[in-house]
C-alpha cells in the first residue's frame, strides 16, 4: 500500500454532454488509517457506471445530494477491506456499496449505502452486473410497479442495456410476450437469440411508432421505459386500456441543456385508464434478498443472459461514463482497477 490515493474529482458541472473535461485527476494522501468504530479502509477493485451519475452532477436536490465541486465522483463499486475496525468486515473481505472514483476510501457504516460483504466467492463483476443494482431495478420495477400478467404484451426500451435486458427476460419468464427497443443490429440480434425476445425494434434504423403498432396490434400492457422523450411518446401512443407505464429512466434527456417538452399525448392516460409511475431502486433495498434469490435461480438454470462491458485502468474512468450516453456499452458498464489480493 503506497502513500498516494489517486482520485478523479469533479472540476466543473457539465452543461450538455458529460465528458472527461469535467473531471480532474489528482493525487491525494491515503485516507487516515485511524479508523472509527465500524469503519474499514477499502481498496477499490471495480467500479460500476450508471446513467443516474449524470444527475448527481447537477446542482439540484434529488434522491441523493449532488456531488460537490472538488469532491471525488461518486459511483457504485466493489472494494477489498485492507484495514478494519469492524468485526463483520475483516481484512480481505470483498464488499460492495457506494464508493468514489478513487483507489482507496473509508467505508463507513453510516454512509449513504454502507459497504456490505459479498457472498463468499462472488466475483466483483457479477456483484455489479447480473446481481447488481440494475438487476434489482429490473426486478422490482417490472414486478412491483409494472405488475405484468401472463399473456400480456410488455414493451421495453433500452432493452439491450443492463436494466432493460433483465426486465425483458423476467417478463418472458413470467409468461409475457416481450418486444424490445435497442440501437443497432448487433444489440437487436443478441436480444433475439440470447435473450429470446419475441420481437425487437432497432430504433436507430426503423420507424419506431409504426413498428410498435405492427408488433403490438392489441396494444402494450406494460411499457418499461428507460429512455423517455420521443420513445415515451411512441410507447404511450400504443398502450392498451388499463396499461401500466414504468418510468424507470429517461436517458435520452440526461445531457439536454434545457428539458424537452413532455409527451404530447398524455391525455391518452385518461381515456385509456393508464397508470404511469416512477420508482427508485433504493426504496427496495430491504427486499434485495428476494430479488437476488430469484436472479440466482434464473442464472443457475441458464434462463437469463447478460453481458458486461469491462474497461480497464484508472485513466479511463471519466471516458467510461460517457460510453453510456453514446450507446457504446455492450451490457453493464464496468471498469476494473485491481484484482483482489
Ligand X SMILES: NC(=O)c1ccc[n+]([C@@H]2O[C@H](COP(=O)([O-])OP(=O)(O)OC[C@H]3O[C@@H](n4cnc5c(N)ncnc54)[C@H](OP(=O)(O)O)[C@@H]3O)[C@@H](O)[C@H]2O)c1
Distance CA 24, CA 38 (A): 31
Distance CA 256, CA 295 (A): 34
Residue (19 or 327) nearer to ligand X, CB: 327
- In the bound state, the residue with its beta carbon closest to ligand X is 161
CB of 97 to ligand X, least distance (A): 16
Task: Mark residues 177-196: x for contact with ligand X by CB under 6 A, - for none.
Answer: -----xxx--x---------
CA trace torsion 143, 146, 152, 154 (10° rounding): -100
Q: Considering the rule CB under 6 A, would residue 208 count as an interface residue with ligand X?
A: no
Distance CA 105, CA 81 (A): 10
Give backbone dihedrals phi and psi of 23, rounded to 5 degrees, phi first. Answer: -125, 160
Number of residues that bind ligand X (CB under 6 A): 28
The correct pick among 117, 280, 285, 299 for binding ligand X (CB under 6 A) is: 280
In the block, cell 426504496 appears at 283
CB of 169 to ligand X, least distance (A): 13
Query: Interface with ligand X by CB under 6 A: which range of 102-110, 142-150, 232-240, 243-251?
Result: 243-251
Secondary structure (3-state) at 318? helix
CB of 58 to ligand X, least distance (A): 13
Residue (80 or 146) nearer to ligand X, CB: 146
Residues 245-264 that bind ligand X (CB under 6 A): 248-249, 251-252
Task: Mark residues 283-322: x for contact with ligand X by CB under 6 A, - for none.
Answer: ----------------------------------------
Residue (240 or 251) nearer to ligand X, CB: 251
Whole-angstrom CA distances from 221 to 166, 200, 214 are 18, 17, 15
Q: Considering the rule CB under 6 A, would residue 98 count as an interface residue with ligand X?
A: no
Q: Considering the rule CB under 6 A, would residue 18 count as an interface residue with ligand X?
A: no
Going by the DSSP 8-state scheme, the letter that residue 261 receives in this structure is: P
- In the chain, the DSSP E strands lie at 4-10, 23-29, 40-48, 74-84, 94-100, 104-107, 116-117, 153-156, 177-182, 199-202, 220-225, 239-247, 275-278, 308-312, 332-336
Q: Considering the rule CB under 6 A, would residue 226 count as an interface residue with ligand X?
A: yes
CB of 183 to ligand X, least distance (A): 3
Query: Interface with ligand X by CB under 6 A: which range of 49-57, 71-79, 83-91, 263-271?
Result: 49-57
Residue (41 or 138) nearer to ligand X, CB: 138
Give backbone dihedrals phi and psi of 15, rounded to 5 degrees, phi first. Answer: -115, 110
Residue (80 or 165) nearer to ligand X, CB: 165
Q: Considering the rule CB under 6 A, would residue 137 count as an interface residue with ligand X?
A: yes
- In 122-215, the DSSP E strands lie at 153-156, 177-182, 199-202
Region label for 166, one of left (φ > 0), alpha (ψ between -120 and 50) or beta (otherwise): alpha
The correct pick among 170, 178, 324, 335 for binding ligand X (CB under 6 A) is: 324
Contacts of 221 (CB under 8 A, 6+ apart): 148, 149, 152, 153, 154, 176, 240, 242, 243, 244
Going by the DSSP 8-state scheme, the letter that residue 253 receives in this structure is: G
Residue (104 or 224) nearer to ligand X, CB: 224
Distance CA 306, CA 323 (A): 18
The correct pick among 118, 126, 236, 281 for binding ligand X (CB under 6 A) is: 281
Residues 51-90 that bind ligand X (CB under 6 A): 51-52
Q: Considering the rule CB under 6 A, would residue 146 count as an interface residue with ligand X?
A: no
CB of 141 to ligand X, least distance (A): 7
CB atoms within 10 A of CB 29: 9
**Which residues lie near ligand X (CB under 6 A)?**
50-52, 134, 137, 158, 160-164, 182-184, 187, 226-227, 248-249, 251-252, 279-281, 324-325, 327, 329
Amino acid at each position: 500500500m503506497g502513500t498516494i490515493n489517486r482520485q478523479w474529482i469533479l472540476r466543473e458541472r457539465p452543461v450538455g454532454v458529460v465528458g472527461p473535461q469535467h473531471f480532474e485527476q489528482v493525487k491525494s494522501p491515503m485516507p487516515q488509517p485511524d479508523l472509527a468504530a465500524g469503519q474499514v479502509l477499502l481498496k477499490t477493485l471495480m467500479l460500476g457506471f450508471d446513467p443516474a451519475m449524470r444527475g448527481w452532477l447537477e446542482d439540484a436536490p434529488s434522491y441523493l445530494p449532488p456531488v460537490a465541486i472538488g469532491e471525488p465522483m461518486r459511483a457504485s463499486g466493489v472494494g477489498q477491506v485492507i484495514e478494519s475496525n469492524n468485526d463483520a468486515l475483516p481484512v480481505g473481505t470483498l464488499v460492495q456499496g457506494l464508493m468514489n472514483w478513487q483507489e482507496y476510501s473509508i467505508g463507513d457504516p453510516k454512509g449513504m449505502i454502507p459497504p456490505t460483504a459479498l457472498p463468499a466467492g462472488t466475483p466483483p463483476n457479477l456483484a455489479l452486473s447480473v446481481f447488481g443494482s440494475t438487476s434489482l431495478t429490473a426486478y422490482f420495477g417490472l414486478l412491483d410497479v409494472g405488475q405484468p400478467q401472463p399473456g400480456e404484451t410488455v414493451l421495453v426500451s433500452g432493452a439491450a442495456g443492463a436494466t432493460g435486458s433483465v426486465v425483458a427476460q423476467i417478463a418472458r419468464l413470467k409468461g409475457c410476450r416481450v418486444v424490445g427497443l435497442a440501437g443497432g443490429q448487433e444489440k437487436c440480434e443478441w436480444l433475439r437469440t440470447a435473450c429470446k425476445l419475441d420481437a425487437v425494434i432497432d430504433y436507430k434504423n426503423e420507424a419506431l411508432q409504426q413498428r410498435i403498432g405492427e408488433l403490438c396490434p392489441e396494444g402494450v400492457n406494460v411499457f418499461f421505459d428507460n429512455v423517455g422523450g420521443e420513445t415515451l411518446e411512441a410507447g404511450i401512443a400504443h398502450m392498451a386500456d388499463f396499461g401500466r407505464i414504468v418510468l424507470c429512466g429517461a436517458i435520452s434527456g440526461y445531457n439536454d441543456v434545457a428539458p424537452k417538452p413532455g409527451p404530447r399525448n398524455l391525455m391518452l392516460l385518461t381515456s385509456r385508464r393508464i397508470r404511469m409511475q416512477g420508482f427508485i431502486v433504493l426504496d427496495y433495498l430491504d427486499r434485495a434478498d428476494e430479488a437476488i434469490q430469484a436472479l440466482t435461480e434464473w442464472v443457475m438454470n441458464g434462463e437469463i443472459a447478460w453481458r458486461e462491458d469491462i474497461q480497464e485502468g484508472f485513466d479511463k474512468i471519466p471516458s467510461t461514463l460517457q460510453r453510456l450516453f453514446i450507446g457504446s456499452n455492450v451490457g453493464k458498464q464496468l471498469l476494473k482497477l485491481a484484482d483482489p489480493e
